[in-house]
Structure 1
Amino acid sequence: MEEKGILERIELSLVNQMEIQNAMYPLEIPVLQSAPSTIEFARMVHSNFPAVIKHVVDDMPAMNWTPQSLKRSIGNLKVPVAETPLGNADSPFHNVLFVQPHIRQMEVGQLIDYLQGSDSNNPVRYMQSQDSNLESQFKTLTPDVYTDFEFAHGAVGDKPSAINVWIGNSYSTSRLHSDNFDNLFVQVHGHKRIYLIPPGDAYALDERFLVGATYQKTEDGSFVISIDGTDKQIPADASTQEIQDVLKGLELTMPRTMFPTVDPSDPNTHNSIFKNHCKVYSVDLGPGDMLYIPALWYHQVQITGPPTELCVSLNYWYAVDSMSPLWAKWNYVRASAAALRGYNDPHFFDPL
């Protein structure tokens, strides 16, 4: 059989499994009006499908947080804050680079004032550290926060592996990605829209091997992009061709990041497989809403509401078994998709 025919059959198989899988999924994300029992939640985890859960955190003291109360309690606390020119931390840049934010230390009170100001997109700032920061940076807030949920016991583990606090405004977006954890996401203040895509639809997301890069600040406060592992810098507004010209002369030894280049909210990024076959869900979360995001599900998080509205969220990560069949299928789909599109990274495909 000719190589072209083999590739066409592999692509057809990937599309067919997407169609079969997505035909079995509900049309919408279910909404529970109260906390599930442990058995009910275990069934949800087993089905590997998201759900919105309401009225779980109604009495959690953190639900009373306001910008003013946070400034009073932790206003002088210094925390790492992500800075970018476009609100694009940890995201593709021209589908060539995977750019991470510049990090600066900033008092929480100053951050809140900045986020509620009229010029909070220059630069865009987001408190988004993902190192169990409730324990490492916001310990003062721990008495206000539930540190586990009884219904999760036995289904995803008695205790979360990490609890993170997120503080930002509508200029920030967490681009489409997946996590290796089950996630209970709680909206505390403000509003968010979350797009959700099943892991079996990875072929539609045009995941590419992106070169690592990081935003840096110059002395005049402007941004440049540093290519990780090198001494090369490019302008923050560099074109695709300019980036490729710089990369041509470099020996890049670091593994590249395999990352989706599709943005569910931007039709300009949608390929034909995504348009015709991908199952995309979206949910809008307000204060007190919880969203269960199963491990490996792709999700993009966009802060909605007025630009000056402070947005505060919590997420609870629970470790999962990486030897489950779901992981094997996900890895196979991703590898097959990359091979079909001709994408390569020796650290990903070459044997050890």
Structure 2
Amino acid sequence: MNSNLENLWEEARELSFGTTPQIERLHTPPTPLQYLRHYLSQNKPFILSASVATTLQWPATTLWTSTSYLRRTLSSSTVSLHLTPTGHADSLTPHPSNPNSLCFASAHIRRTSFSDAIDAINASHNTDLNKGFVAYAQQQNDCFREEYGALAGDCDSHVSWATEAIGSSPEAVNLWIGNELSETSFHKDHYENLYAVVTGEKHFVLLPPTDVHRMYIREYPAAQYNYSEETGEFKLELENPPRYVPWCSVNPYPLLQNKEKEMSEFPLYHNGPKPFEVTVKAGEILYLPSMWFHHVRQTPDNRGLTIAVNYWYDMQFDIKYAYFNFLQSLPAPNEPTSHTHSTNKNVSDGDEKHSEESTF
């Protein structure tokens, strides 16, 4: 089984990317037919580079570099701001009553004015103590059209070549505003994701769906951060009744003091084929195919902000989905069969519909 899976990982890369695998960069938008044939049907990512020929010639690319413009345009808007002590929302953190085990922690969500949200993002800092917070505007679930509608005219409502190829409009359009402290743990989505960076940069670590066993997906108890405005402290509480979330156990950037332990605990990830690492700069679009695992960090602009818009198109639940479900139902090498998990469409391994750049 071990060698068979290793052959699959290598062959999947060679078929998609050749013998020197890297994410392809396009300098002109694909036609709908090119996108359908060469990328969508092959589940193959690419970056559309910033140039005069790209579709990302939006008013947003200049207007959103002004915080005063954003404040003025959204002066009457109430938005959802996600607060965590470290900037790691929808991720694994030490269990509140047993620090030797982990739980899946979701952010505290504060409904606030946009102006207050920007102030909170700018004031964000994390600390080893349980004080201070990191704020991130990452509501998803069509938040751009629901909460930031006043900015709608600054961007395209859809990606035309993707809409024509897929045959439908995006199910959701989301806006992300954060800083360098916000980080998204490994996860996957059941969406075709067109991810456009407007200011700053996004740094993705990518793995194809065939690498599911390298993610060490395990079930963790769900917990929620609660933030006290009075004390400035967080309290992490387990959900009641208990709920368990299948989530990726791997951290691609372990602390130096933890690296040896991580490599020993997750050898299939650390000793397997190198993940793809790509930086998406302002004015560029990443096509992130459905079910690809991705981890996301960011570098802000000179104001300390990173702003992005992404378009979620429904994936086709076709033979690729059946193939992936079969693959992840197989026991992982050197692990007992009890580590296999549900592949339910809405909550499947590493797939919670409320995490950064899309979710499991």
TM-score by length of 1: 0.83
Alignment partner, residue 239 of structure 2: 228
1:63 corresponds in structure 2 to: 61
Provide Cα deviations, 1:183-218, integer angstroms capped at 9, x if missing partner: 000001111111111010011111111111111124
- Out of 48-57 and 200-209, give the one that drifted further: 48-57
Deviations 1:281-300 (A, max 9, x none): 11111211000000000111
Which of 122, 135, 151 aligns to 1:141? It is 151
Aligned to 1:22: 13
The question of whether the paired residues in 1 share the 8 Å contact of 2:124 and 2:134 is answered with: no
User: Would the aligned equivalents of 1:202 and 1:337 in 2 still touch at CA under 8 Å?
Assistant: no
Which among 77, 98, 103 is matched to residue 104 of structure 2?
Answer: 98
> How far apart in 1 are the matches of 2:301 and 2:204?
17
Aligned pairs, number: 317
**Separation (CA, whole Å) in 1 of partners of 2:285 and 2:275:** 19
2: distance between equivalents of 1:51 and 1:334? 25
Q: Within the alignment, does 1:42 sit opposite 2:48 as a pair? A: no
- Please tell me the root mean square deviation across aligned C-alpha atoms, in Å: 2.5
Q: Which moved more, 1:119-128 or 1:141-150?
A: 119-128
TM-aligned CA deviation for residue 14 of structure 1: 2.3
| Alpha-carbon distance change, 337 to 102 in structure 1, aligned in 2, over 3 angstroms | farther
Alpha-carbon distance in 2 for matches of 1:199, 1:347: 15
Q: Comparing 310-319 with 109-118, which one deviates more in the overlay?
A: 109-118
Q: How does 1:248-267 map to 2 (within 5 A)?
A: 252=242, 254=243, 256-266=244-254
Q: What fraction of aligned residue pairs are identical, expressed as a percent?
A: 27
* One-letter amino acid of the counterpart of residue 330, structure 2: S
Is there any run of 5+ residues in structure 1 with no aligned partner, and where? 1-9, 231-251
User: Which amino acid in structure 1 is aligned with residue 145 of structure 2?
Assistant: E
> Per-residue deviation at 1:329?
2.5
Which residues of structure 2 form unaligned runs of 5+? 95-100, 344-360
Q: Which residue of 2 aligns with 1:160?
A: 170
Q: Distance in 1 between matches of 2:157 and 2:196?
A: 12
Deviations 1:76-131 (A, max 9, x none): 42211110001110011246311100111122112223323474772001010111
Scaled by the length of structure 2, the TM-score of the pair is 0.81
Match in the other structure for 1:114: 120
Q: 1:321 to 1:115 in 2, by over 3 A?
A: same
Could you tell me whether the CA contact under 8 Å between 1:209 and 1:343 is conserved in 2? no
**Hey, what's the Cα distance between the residues in 2 that align with 1:169 and 1:76?**
23
Pairwise CA distance, 1:340:
5.5
Q: Residue 47 of structure 2 corresponds to which residue in structure 1?
A: 52
Opposite residue 227 of structure 1, the aligned amino acid is L
CA distance in 2, matches of 1:29, 1:75: 40
Q: 1:120 to 1:260 in 2, by over 3 A?
A: closer
Q: Tell me which protein shows more helix as a share of its residues.
A: 1
SS at match of 1:348: coil
**Aligned CA distance change for structure 1 residues 194 and 308 (closer, same or farther; 3 Å):** same
Q: State the AA in 2 paired with 1:61.
A: P
Please say which of residues 168-177 and 210-219 is displaced more in the overlay.
Answer: 210-219
1:337–1:70 Cα change, 3 Å: farther
Partner of 1:304: 299
SS at match of 1:143: helix
Query: What does residue 233 of structure 1 align with?
Result: none
| Residue 206 in structure 1 maps to residue 216 in structure 2 | yes
The one-letter code matched in structure 2 to 1:59 is Q
- Counting only pairs closer than 5 Å after superposition, residues 175-324 of structure 1 correspond to structure 2 as 175-218=185-228, 219-230=230-241, 252=242, 254=243, 256-266=244-254, 268=259, 269-270=262-263, 271-305=266-300, 309-322=304-317, 324=318
Structure 1 pair 110/120, CA: closer, same or farther in 2 (3 Å)?
farther
Q: Choose 16-25 or 133-142, whichever is displaced more.
A: 16-25
What SS does the aligned partner of 1:155 have?
helix
2:137·2:178 contact (CA, 8 Å) conserved in 1? Answer: yes
Aligned to 2:88: 88
- The residue type equivalent to 2:33 in the other structure is I
How many angstroms does 1:52 deviate by?
A: 0.2
> Do 1:170 and 1:307's aligned partners in 2 also have CA atoms closer than 8 Å?
no
The 3-state SS of whatever aligns with 1:341 is coil
Give the direction of change, closer, same or farther, for the CA distance of 1:202–1:303 in structure 2 (3 Å limit): same
Contact 2:218–2:341 (Cα < 8 Å) also in 1: no
Deviation at 1:342, TM superposition (A): 3.4
- Contact 1:135–1:163 (CA under 8 A) maintained in structure 2: yes
Residue aligning to 1:328: 322
* Partner SS, residue 142 of structure 1: helix
| Alignment match, 1:7 | none
- Indicate how the Cα distance of structure 1 residues 175 and 75 shifts in structure 2: closer, same or farther if over 3 A, else same: farther
Per-residue displacement from partner, 1:141-178 (whole Å, max 9, x unpaired)?
11112012221134223311110001110100111110
